[in-house]
């Protein structure tokens, strides 16, 4: 059975949105937020968003270091073993 809305749940007549601008401040929201939903098991590990951000920054620094070190490694030929001596 489909529920019908009661008149009291609708916007009341004293609210006047005729001069309102749709999305007037939406750029502020889009500019300053990036919502990421964590799985429950991951969320239990981090007590706050500050803890998540710290961990991700550390991981990013370690990853950058790892990439830099890997790109600076020079691959050298292995010396061949001489058998029979």
Per residue in 12-70, pLDDT tens?
778 887 888 888 888 877 777 777 889 999 999 999 989 999 999 999 999 887 777 66
CB 46 within 8 A of CB 52: yes
| Joined tokens for residue 79 | 């010396």
pLDDT band at 84 (very low <50, low <70, confident <90, very high): low
Neighbours of 75 (CB within 10 A): 5
| Joined tokens for residue 69 | 């070190």
pLDDT band at 73 (very low <50, low <70, confident <90, very high): low
Residue 68 has phi, psi (to 5 degrees) of -65, -45
């Amino acid at each position: 059975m489909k529920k019908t809305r009661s008149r009291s749940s609708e916007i009341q007549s004293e609210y006047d949105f005729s001069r309102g601008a749709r999305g007037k401040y939406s750029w502020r929201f889009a500019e300053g937020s990036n919502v990421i939903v964590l799985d429950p098991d991951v969320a239990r590990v981090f007590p706050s968003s500050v803890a998540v951000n710290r961990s991700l920054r550390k991981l990013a620094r370690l990853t950058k270091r790892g990439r830099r070190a890997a790109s600076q490694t020079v691959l050298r030929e292995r010396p061949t073993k001489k058998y029979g001596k």
